[in-house]
Amino acid sequence: MRQIADCAAGFTYIGLLILVALISVAATATIQLGSVVQRRDAERELLHIGEQFQRAMFTYASRTPGGMPRLPRELGDLLRDPRQPSIVVRHLRQVPVDPLTGKAEWGILRTPDGFITGVHSLSEARPIKIANFDPGLAHLEGAEYYKDWVFGLGTARRQPSRTQQQSGDGK
């Protein structure tokens, strides 16, 4: 009788080990799924912020007084347009935080004379979304990295040699 009890205890122990292994696999899968969901949310937020940057740069260019530059020199120029000394004109309320890096730092694309033409995330990660963008963001299709998602006027693929890293406060 004792031999049967020892054998049953052995099977119970093996069954418990299998149960712990299954719970570990399920927990790992849940964590990975949660990570993907969180990254998709950050990606959606980046696209929303990018559209805000594009809209701000468009209104900056379209409200240019005669003889003034059509592009900003710093991101801070989008917060308070320096070309309008007597009236406070804001194209952006604040420089947003990059949802992928958690910092208010953006890569900046500039013209040869130093004006900003676009911004991009500094994240080196690969995007989840690679197709089916809204028409205003169709230029992002097929980008390999988030840093290739450029938002601005006349946006096109990012050229690394023209990119500068800059703090979001325009300094």
pLDDT in tens, 42-54: 999 999 999 999 9
Nearest to 148 by CA among 121, 128, 111, 168: 121
Going from N- to C-terminal start, the domains of the chain cover 36-167
Nearest to 115 by CA among 66, 154, 157, 88: 154
Question: 90, 80 in Cβ contact below 8 A?
Answer: yes
Whole-structure pTM value: 0.71
pLDDT in tens, 122-157: 999 999 998 989 888 999 999 999 999 999 987 543
Task: Work out the burial of residue 115: count CB atoms within 10 Å of its CB; fewer than 13 is exposed, 13-18 middle, 19 or more buried.
Answer: middle
